[in-house]
Chains A and B, each alone.
Chain A
């Protein structure tokens, strides 16, 4: 008390104000950076963002034309990725939230594995895709079914999507587990009281109740997968394809990879700069609107959880 008395109240008030404004200022700095990235991208790209740009193929050595194959490729890749990642993610989340006991070493190991998957650098997934899917799986499939003819032992959209599915698996698991945990216990008890078994309860009460959470997880995964480039660098992304991929063993163009090659390998960087900005804008709009939807959904889940508990 004595020490405190020595400090005049006014100094304390000033210190408080300084602390508040200093930390508040850092928030402003971060938000300003976000806004400037967005602003510069929009300013640089919105003029080129036309309907033709979205629906046409690149022309004249990619100095003109649109980015349709890249949009299509990204969409198809994320679709296959979703099909692969979501069931795995949901089942693992159900295990973690419903079956695993607090002390279970197995469950703890899974949790740690999921966290590890979330922090492993994306380029490692690319290496894994190359070493496992292409060189191991692909080559063996070719040898077993196609007499060694090269079908699957090369980069293609399937291997790229599966690589990406691994990368986005933790995103799905975390989101779904969180949603499952918000299902109120009365609902589970009601189901059990009616004679349902645990699995029936999960299937008929828990899973339908966490549909929003599964959707959130899926959207977050798509948002993440659509923007990643490093995992597909050597597992399936192509510089240019003349035709859209119709088979799973074809290569594809992707928005993120397109930005990368356009900014480093196009014949005239300055002339194509608006196109690069426009492509960036498309990718940003895509990932942004997706994560915005996810944020809103998540917010609603949390609110529901608070109200019901």
Chain B
């Protein structure tokens, strides 16, 4: 899929997205390292106890393998195949909805979708501090799981398209980006 994308025309990063780890609001676990996340999603850690929570089984929620988020999270965080027990839901909203209603659930997805669930702080490894996926932390590269959102075009934009692209990248357009829950690229 990635090969496919790079073969195409023009790629314009237009927003920054923090992939957030969702948890139920009552969940006492505050922070997880990338390794812990990987262990959780490959089912090497199956109990909340092992990451500093109460004794309870963790339910995994994720996206369908047709999703970009699935691939991104797999390649950059899990770095192996997901455990079979990971429930793959057809949309990020479905993941959020599932975690919202599951005290022992953990899910991932774009920051824009996280309504009614807790963000988990993420740290690179045990020596680093954990950060929330806030605009500031993402701009400073402190939050570990971020990705760009792109616009794709056949050719370099001209005319009205160029105007639109310029607008989208202007501070005005980036305000809209921030308004819907993503983070500005500049």
Contact = CB atoms under 8 A, between A and B. Distances in A.
State if A and B touch, Cβ cutoff 8 Å.
yes
Contact of B94 (A264, A268, A271): A264
A89 to B, nearest CB: 33
B116 interface: yes
B27 interface: no
B90 interface: yes
B115 A270 contact: yes
Contacts of B97: 269-270
Chain A contact residues: helix, strand, loop or mixed: helix
Q: Which residue, B91, B94, B112, B116, has most C-beta atoms of chain A within 10 A?
A: B91
A195 interface: no
Contacts of B92: 265
B89 interface: yes
A147 interface: no
Contacts of B91: 261, 264-266
Contacts of B93: 263-269
B105 to A, nearest CB: 14
Contacts of B96: 269
B112 A265 contact: no
A8 interface: no
Interface in B78-127: 89-94, 96-97, 100, 112-113, 115-116
A24 interface: no
B94 A265 contact: yes
B7 interface: no
Interface in A266-307: 266-271
Contacts of B180: 61, 267
Nearest to A60: B180
A73 B180 CA distance: 27
A264 B93 CA distance: 5
4 closest residue pairs by CB, A with B: A265-B91, A264-B91, A264-B94, A264-B90
Given A264-B93, A267-B113, 18 more contacts: A260-B90, A261-B91, A263-B94, A264-B89, A264-B91, A265-B91, A265-B93, A265-B94, A266-B93, A267-B112, A267-B115, A268-B93, A268-B113, A268-B115, A269-B93, A269-B94, A269-B96, A270-B116
